[in-house]
A and B are shown apart, each in its own frame.
Chain A
Amino acid sequence: MSVLIIFIQKAIVQGICILYGTLGEIMTEKSGNLNLGIPGIMYMGGISGLMAAFLYEKDNPDPNAFIGVLLSFICAFACAALGGLIYSVLTITLRANQNVTGLALTIFGTGFGNFFGGSISKLAGGVGQISVKVTGGAYTAKIPGLSKIPVLGDLLFSYGFMTYLCIITAVVLSIFLFRTRYGLNLRAIGESPATADAAGINVTKYKYLSTCIGAGLAGLGGLYFVMEYSGGTWTDNGFGDRGWLAVALVIFALWKPLNAIWGAFLFGALYILYLYIPGLGRSMQEVFKALPYVVTIIVLVITSFRKKKEHQPPAGLGLPYFREER
């Protein structure tokens, strides 16, 4: 029983890292931009949040946890949104190819994260790992009282505040996309930018905003990983391939934020499943690690078989929109 509880807890923590990236990418893809720079953007968000907290705590004898959290949160979001801005300028204004730009951004962002990650550990005296005790502690603080309830408290209330924020964000994003006028406009752009343009929607503005805010959201996934999962430390390439899993989850969730919530928990569970199945040989463990990707491929194939309208990617996904060429 206790193993099961730990498994579920770990699966949820893994899932939330991915879910932030997925929500950001859904927001971006709904506007028709396929941003393959998400993995890089998540690195950028993670490292800038960590650096903000580190620089704040470094020479501060009495750091305030709230200010540390606020600073790192804002820096992570802003830096990740900046990554989204680079992507937007290149693809929307300069009309560059989306796949190529996204991949370049991933190369840049991953290097950016590892570069500064390595550099701040050097700043801290070259001990290899740095720590931001106060801020990290605030991120990992559980809900007082409620988390003491046996079983239920462990399952539902034993996470840092960013876990709950993520779920709330997913719900809000879902309401925004499917229940508001702005969301409808955004989806219209993703389906057919020319039609949306003709209807008087400012395509460029929507695309810019959704890509930058989406990137900022994804950056919070990096921050979550650094602060809650690793407790305020950095290891090079520690974030691994979770960024691509986030892109995969967008497909799995069929571009719907609410599906993404349980999808993220499922992906988190699949991601660590190999650790919890007893008697699994090393070779079989490696097979299990491929599960999230195989499941995504299967979903991708099935949706293309069924051709149900509401399960398809936005029709304009990955395609550039130039008013002059319509």
Chain B
Amino acid sequence: MHKEPFLKMSKRDHLAWQKRLLVRIVALILSLIVCAGVIFALVRMNPLDVYKAIWDGALGSERRVWQTLRDTMVLLCISIGLAPAFKMRFWNIGAEGQILIGGACAAAAMIYAGDAMSPVLLLIIMFVASAVGGMIWGIIPAVFKAYWNTNETLFTLMLNYVAMQVVTYCIVFWENPKGSNTVGIINQATQAGWLPELFGQRYGWNILIVMVFTVVMFIYLKYSKQGYEIAVVGESENTARYAGIHVKRVIIRTMAISGAICGIAGFVIVSGASHTISTMTADGRGFTAIIVAWLSKFNTFIMLAVSFGIVFMQQGAVQIASQYGLNENASDVILGIILFFLIGAEFFINYRLERTKK
């Protein structure tokens, strides 16, 4: 006997944005309930106290607010970089490596040219160098993908670790003090190559740079001819070819942009936040950004919200960790659970479930 399934699913054509938002909020609330359960099981603390601690950790003092904003900007910048590549269905898992190479280029300029030129010129050179570094790291897999259809997911993934070794290679020459195997704060005395304050705010430039990217990338993807080409190639390479789009050129050009912006994210980290370079400069954010970009469906303003949400939770989790003596890796566990729910929620946005009629 053939059994009728209990539920029937069908693809939705379109869901109003209010409903999409509602589905995501429900998913977020569910994930927070599960997280609260996990936290309670581990430390026997009142979950409400825990969520208050998360709030305090992310936005509890002016310093923390700025830290949260700073990290949001970095994550957002990387996600913006990934957006065009993903829209083209090019799985750039290599943001981590592109950030590291960009950061290393910026650090190199700081170290070798820190005293040789005016601060403004130095910053411009660092900016360009990191963009070019990231661009090269992005173009390599794109060329192979365009001409020989080499699997880009695995290629970019491997390049991350090559980039990591490039950075450790450089650290051997840049280490300060000698033998520490770390670069230390670069140009601590002169502050050459550090992004200056803007409007009296330490991270003012970080925010300005990334916000400009947010707006420009939104317009580029939505209203420019190149953005349209990216969308067509992403939908179907054959259609694109039939329509006279030069697919190889689009792939390489898009990855150049993608890599360059990720490289600039490295510049923002090195010049605008950490003032040093290490293999932890990217700190897994190249991977987190992939999820941000995908969940936001390439809309850079939604990326802003998602990035903020994720950084908010991470900062909060660090606070819980120190407050209740939990290990700080709890933040990754919580982040993972939240991501699972948000990823799962996509299903209910794209599909409709119905009870089968008897």
Contacts and interface: CB of A to CB of B under 8 A. Distances in A.
Given A104-B291, A119-B327, A304 B162 contact: no
Interface in B143-160: 144, 148-151, 153-155, 157-160
Contacts of B173: 283
A114 interface: yes
A112 B165 contact: no
Nearest to A99: B91
B155 A115 contact: no
A4 interface: no
B151 A86 contact: no
Interface string B173-201: 10000000000000000000000000000
Interface stretch (A63-71, A88-96, A191-199): A88-96
Interface stretch (B16-24, B98-106, B335-343): B335-343
A304 B151 contact: yes
Interface string B325-357: 011011111011101100110110011000000
Given A112-B333, A301-B144, A290 B165 contact: yes
Interface string A292-303: 011011001100
Interface stretch (A135-143, A154-162, A220-228, A241-249): A241-249
A211 interface: no
Given A286-B169, A301-B150, A109 B351 contact: no
B331 A111 contact: yes
Given A95-B350, A282-B172, A297-B159, A100 B290 contact: yes
A232 B331 CA distance: 26
A22 interface: no
A294 B288 contact: no
Contacts of B12: none
Nearest to B330: A115
A247 B154 contact: yes
Nearest to A291: B165
B190 to A, nearest CB: 27
Contacts of A62: none
Contacts of B68: none
Interface in B276-303: 284, 287-288, 290-291, 294-295
B55 interface: no
Contact of B151 (A115, A122, A300, A305): A300
Contacts of B155: 297, 300-301
A252 to B, nearest CB: 10
A244 B154 CA distance: 10
Q: Which of B165, B284, B335 has the most CB of A within 10 A?
A: B165
B168 interface: yes
A105 B159 CA distance: 21
A59 interface: no
Contacts of A104: 291, 336, 339-340, 343
B284 to A, nearest CB: 7
Given A108-B339, A111-B333, A324 B11 contact: yes
Interface string B1-41: 00000000011000000000000000000000000000000
| Interface size range of chain A in the complex | 35 or more
Given A96-B346, A282-B172, A283-B173, A114 B153 contact: no
B161 interface: yes
A241 B279 CA distance: 12
A59 B326 CA distance: 23
Nearest to A118: B327
A114 B332 contact: yes
A90 B344 contact: yes
A110 interface: yes
21 contacts: A90-B344, A94-B344, A96-B343, A97-B343, A100-B343, A104-B343, A109-B336, A111-B333, A112-B336, A115-B332, A118-B327, A119-B42, A244-B160, A244-B161, A247-B157, A248-B154, A286-B168, A286-B169, A300-B158, A301-B150, A304-B150
Given A114-B332, A318-B91, 12 more contacts: A86-B340, A89-B344, A100-B294, A101-B343, A104-B339, A107-B284, A108-B339, A244-B161, A247-B157, A251-B154, A296-B154, A313-B151
Interface of B: 10-11, 42, 91, 93, 144, 148-151, 153-155, 157-162, 165-166, 168-169, 172-173, 284, 287-288, 290-291, 294-295, 326-327, 329-333, 335-337, 339-340, 343-344, 346-347, 350-351
